[in-house]
A and B are shown apart, each in its own frame.
Chain A
C-alpha cells in the first residue's frame, strides 16, 4: 500500500479567499433575519479549490483497505462483493431525488420495489410480516426486543423483563436488551459450541421475556438443538429473537420462521450485499410471525386494488395501532433498501441458495486447508458454517505469536485481518469469513500467507511492531484516549 505523499489535513490546504467557485449559486441575498439572531464568527471550514479537494479525498480513499481492493475475511461482517449495478440503479435521478414526503402518486415505482422487497424477505425468513424501517442491525434488534416486550404487555404479562443471551452473543444483543429496559441473563456455551441446555433450563421462568440467538452462532457452528430450545423457551412463555448477522450461512436453506423464531432482524448490508461504507449505512429490516404482526414498527408498505390496479401506500399508526412506533424520521435507509432489492432480483431464487452453498463451501475449504497447515480450529469436530474460528493460543504460548500479531502481519501481505478477539470466550481467536464471492485462488493464497506468518514466527520473527507497509505504523491507542484530540484546533 502506498505511503501517503503528504499527511496533511484538508485544512492545511486552506488559503483565505480560495474556494471551489463553481459550487456556489450565483445570487446572494440580503437577509430578512434580525441581526441579533445572526452568526458573528466565521467557522473554520476548508478554503480549497475543487481540484485540491478532489485530490485530497481521492488520496485518503487510497489509504483504505476495501473489498474492491483486498480480500477482507472479517468474520461476522460478510464482506462480499457489492455489485456496482445496485449502487447505480439506486442512484437513478428519480429515485435519488424523490422527497420522502412526496405523494404516493409520485412514488409508485419506488413503493413497488419496497413492497416486493418485503415479500421476498418474508419468503427467505419464513415470516408473516416485514418492516423495512430499522436503519441498522442494532436498530433492528431494538425493534425486535421492543416488539417482544409489547407482546407481553398487551397480554397483561408485565413481569417478563429478562432477556437471555448466550455468552458468545454479539455485544449489541445485551446492549439492546438494556436499551429496551430489560435485564440480561447470560447462558454459557458447551464445549462443542452449542448452548448449554441445563444452564438454559435454569434461567427460564416466569420473568423470561425472550432469548436472542444467532444461528449459526458467532462460533461458526449451527445450533443443533434449536428446536428443543424453541420449545423450552415457548413453554416458559418467552419468545425467540433471531439475530440475522449470520443469515448468509443458511440463505434459502433453512428459515428462521421454520426454526420457530418469532422475530428476526436482517443485516441487509451483509446478506444482501449493500455497501458497508466505512461503517454504515446499514439496514436492519425486521421479520415477524403472526404473534408480533400487530406490533411492527411503522411505516410498512401496503397494497390495495383501486379500479383493478394495484396501488401501494404507507401503513401507519391508523393501520397498525399497536405498533412500537417510528424509529426514523421517514422510512429508514430507503436507498440501501433499493440496493438490496436490485441485488436480490439479480440473484433470484436459485442464486439465493447458491449464496449459502458457496459461502459454506469456501469456509469449510479454508478451514480444512488451515487445519492441515497446522492451525488449530476452535471446534475441530464441527462442520463450519459460513465462517469458522482459528485459535492462536498454542502459537501465542510457543512463539509469542498472538491473534493480534497475525492480524497486523496479514496487513503487510495485503490481506485485511480476520475479526480478532471475538467471540470473547475463545482465547486468541481469529474469526474468518471468506464469503461466496472469493475464488479458490484467493483462498489458496491466503493460506500461503498464513503459513508464511506462522513459519516466520517459529523462526524467531516478531510481529509486535507490524505492520510496516501501511500509511502509518501501529498507533498509540492509550495516547488517543488520554490526550483527546477529536478535532483540528490550531492555536
Chain B
C-alpha cells in the first residue's frame, strides 16, 4: 500500500486492541446513507516509475523556450545550493514553528530573512512573508486602514504604474471591507504620474506606487511620497527586490520615506513555476509593526540566558484574536523564504548588484536592437531598469505566436492595458549577447516577412 506501513498482522492486532472487527466499523458514527463505495473519476494508482515517465513526457511538451517575458515574474539564475538545502527534509517537512525549541532552524532563518529584506528595502521591520506580491497589496491596504485611523475615506490611490493584476487582487480581497482603489492621472509621454493634475481633497488612506512600474518606467517616487504624506496618507511602495541593489530603497524616499514596502519575492531564488509558489514580502516602519499581518519572529533569550528565536506579537493573529485578528493569514510561504534567505546569502550585496546591472545592461541591449527595426519604438521616454515597453506598428498577438513557434517567448502583450499595440520585454542576467542577437534577428525576420 503506497505510503502506508501496516502489515496485515499489524492491522489485525490494532483492530483487536480497539475491539472492532474491521476498519469499516470505525466509520460507524457516520450516517450510512452518506457513505460512498468508490471514486469513479479518480484513475487507478500509478507506481513512481509510471508517474515519473508521464510527468517527464508532459514536461517535454511544455519545452524550454527562450523567455523574454517579465511582467511580475522573472527568470534569474538560482544557485544549486539554494534548493538543495531548502528541500532538506528538516526544512521541507517541518511545520510552523509553534514549538520554538524544536524549530530554531526555521526561526533563525526567518530572523535572518527579516534582517536581509529590511536592509534591502531600507525599512525597520519585516514579517515572515505573505502569499505573493499581489495579495501583499491587499494586506498592505488593509494595514494602512488600521494604522491611519484618522482617515475614514477607505480610498486608496494607485499610481498609473501599479500592476493591474495587483489592483484586481487587492480589490477582490480588500474590497470586501469597503476599500476602493482609484488611479492617479498618467502623463502620456513618460507613462508616469502626471503631477500637474493630482486630485485635490480625496483624503486617501494610502497612496501606492510601483517602482519600477509595471511598464518598466522609473517614477519620481520622492515627490509622490511627500505628496502622499501632505495628504495625510501612508505611502505603500511596491518594489522589485533585485532592483533594490541599484535603486534608492523605499525607506529613503522623500522626506520621511515610504511607510510600507511590499513586493513579489520570486526574483530572490524562487523558480517561475507557472506562477507559484512565490512569496510576498512586507516591511514597514517600526511604529506600524503592531498592525502588520502574518507571522513575525523575534530574538530573545532562553532559561540559560542564551540567545534563541520565537514567534512574537502573536496577539495580532487569528489563532489568538479570531474575528478581531489583523488578517486571517495562517501559514506564510516559509519554504520560499528559506530559499530566498539562502539566495541572498550566496549572492551578497555585490552579487545582487551584478545580477541587477547585467539585467539592466541586457535589457538596454535588447531595446536598442529591437528599436533599430522598422516599426518598433519606445512607448515611453525615460530610464528603465530591466523591463521596457515598445510600441509597434502592428498587432502584437500574431507576432508573439509566430515567435513562440520558433521557441522564443517574445514578451508580454500590453495592448489590452495601454490601448495601443505595445509589447513589454525583459532580458535578465540569464541571457547572453548571443541570445539577444537571436531574438532581435528572429523579431526582424518576422516583421520583414509580414508573418505577424
Contact = CB atoms under 8 A, between A and B. Distances in A.
B41 A119 contact: yes
A82 B246 contact: no
A334 B91 CA distance: 20
A19 B350 contact: yes
B42 A488 contact: no
Contacts of A335: 271, 273-274, 276-277
14 contacts: A24-B347, A33-B247, A45-B119, A54-B85, A66-B91, A83-B3, A171-B322, A172-B330, A325-B171, A329-B275, A349-B42, A368-B18, A475-B308, A487-B125
Contact of A95 (B163, B274, B347): B274
A304 interface: no
Q: How large is the interface on B (under 10, 10 to 19, 20 to 34, 35 or more residues)?
A: 35 or more
A447 B54 CA distance: 42
A38 to B, nearest CB: 6
A455 interface: no
A106 B106 CA distance: 36
Contacts of B47: 346
Contacts of A63: 103-105, 108
Interface stretch (B70-78, B186-194, B436-444): B70-78
Contact of B65 (A82, A106, A352, A360): A106
A121 to B, nearest CB: 9
Nearest to B283: A487
Contacts of A170: 319
Contacts of A69: 89-90
B302 A64 contact: no
Contact of A135 (B96, B277, B344): B277
A473 B302 contact: yes
A52 to B, nearest CB: 9
Contacts of A120: 41-43
Contacts of A345: 43, 45-46, 51, 54
Interface string A220-247: 0110101100000000000000000000
B14 interface: yes
B176 A180 contact: yes
Contact of B23 (A42, A53, A57, A361): A361
B336 to A, nearest CB: 6
A37 B247 contact: yes
A31 B62 contact: no
A258 interface: yes
A25 B358 contact: yes
SS of A interface (majority) = loop
Contacts of A436: 3-4
A280 B405 CA distance: 37
B336 A253 contact: no
Nearest to B95: A276
Contact of A10 (B83, B112, B279, B319): B112
B199 interface: no
A207 interface: no
Interface string B278-316: 110000001001000001111111111011111011010
A149 B335 contact: no
Interface in A130-144: 135-139, 141-142
B82 to A, nearest CB: 9
Contact of A334 (B55, B83, B275): B275
A475 B297 CA distance: 12
Contacts of B409: 99, 102-103, 106
Interface residues of A, number: 199
B434 interface: no
Contacts of B36: 252-255, 258
A139 B218 CA distance: 33
Given A85-B51, A139-B131, A254-B36, A172 B95 contact: no
B57 interface: yes
B330 to A, nearest CB: 5
A227 B114 CA distance: 48
Interface string B152-196: 000000000001011011011100111000000000000000000
Contacts of B91: 61, 64, 66, 277-278
Contact of B6 (A28, A50, A411, A440): A440
A485 B318 contact: no
A110 to B, nearest CB: 6
**B122, B351, B352 interface centre (most CB from chain A within 10 Å):** B351
B354 A66 contact: no
A33 B14 CA distance: 70
B13 interface: yes
Interface string B312-339: 1101011111111101111111111010
A386 B206 CA distance: 46
Given A65-B94, A411-B101, 6 more contacts: A66-B90, A135-B132, A278-B103, A329-B278, A355-B4, A485-B299
Nearest to B101: A470
Given A93-B64, A327-B169, A46 B344 contact: yes
Interface in A246-264: 250, 252-255, 258-259
Contacts of A29: 357-358, 360-361, 364
Given A68-B89, A100-B275, A486 B2 contact: no
B380 interface: no
A27 B345 CA distance: 20
B176 A365 contact: no
A136 B274 contact: no
Interface string A79-116: 11111010101111111111111110111111011000
Nearest to B38: A349
A48 interface: yes
A149 B360 CA distance: 46
A477 B300 contact: yes
A77 interface: yes
A11 B61 CA distance: 44
Nearest to B96: A279
Nearest to A33: B383
Contacts of B429: 25
B330 A439 contact: no
B346 A53 contact: yes
B69 A102 contact: yes
Contacts of A105: 401, 404-405
A31 B362 CA distance: 11
Interface in A306-358: 324-336, 342, 344-355, 357-358
A407 interface: yes
B348 interface: yes
B5 interface: yes
A326 B165 contact: yes
B62 A94 contact: yes
A178 B249 CA distance: 34
Nearest to A80: B3
A184 B310 CA distance: 31
A483 B312 CA distance: 10
Contacts of B2: 346-347, 351
A61 B108 CA distance: 10
B93 interface: yes
Contacts of A135: 131-132, 135, 276-277
B273 A60 contact: no
Contacts of A72: 95
**B23, B56, B323 interface centre (most CB from chain A within 10 Å):** B323
A371 to B, nearest CB: 10
Given A94-B60, A487-B125, A365 B14 contact: yes
B218 A175 contact: no
A258 B39 CA distance: 13
A33 B99 contact: no
A171 B96 CA distance: 15
Given A85-B51, A98-B272, A342-B55, A33 B218 contact: yes
B245 interface: yes
Contacts of A376: none
A475 B307 CA distance: 9
A38 B112 contact: no
A487 B172 contact: no
A199 B46 CA distance: 48
B215 interface: no
